[in-house]
Amino acid sequence: MKKYVCDPCGYVYDPEVGDPDGGIEPGTAFEDIPDDWVCPLCGMGKDVFSPVEE
């Protein structure tokens, strides 16, 4: 599964870790996160995230 980075603040969503504080279980692909989820650091929406090129 791909990691995604929040362009404004640099937070990286890692699907292996998820976002437990935000209710996202480990193993959740970015595409499967609810549309109302926001970046835990800056509060921006999913639309400002870009795939991390590995």
Query: Which listed CATH number (2.20.28.10, 1.10.730.10, 1.10.1740.10, 3.40.190.10) goes with 1-53?
Result: 2.20.28.10
pLDDT at 54 over 80: no
pLDDT in tens, 8-47: 999 999 999 999 999 999 999 999 999 999 999 999 999 9
The one-letter amino acid at 23: G
- Check whether 9 is labelled as a binding-site residue: yes
The domain limits of the chain are: 1-53
Side-chain-side CA neighbours of residue 17 (13 Å): 9
pLDDT at 53 over 90: no
- Check whether 6 is labelled as a binding-site residue: yes
Q: How far apart are CA 54 and CA 51, in angstroms?
A: 9
- Check whether 39 is labelled as a binding-site residue: yes
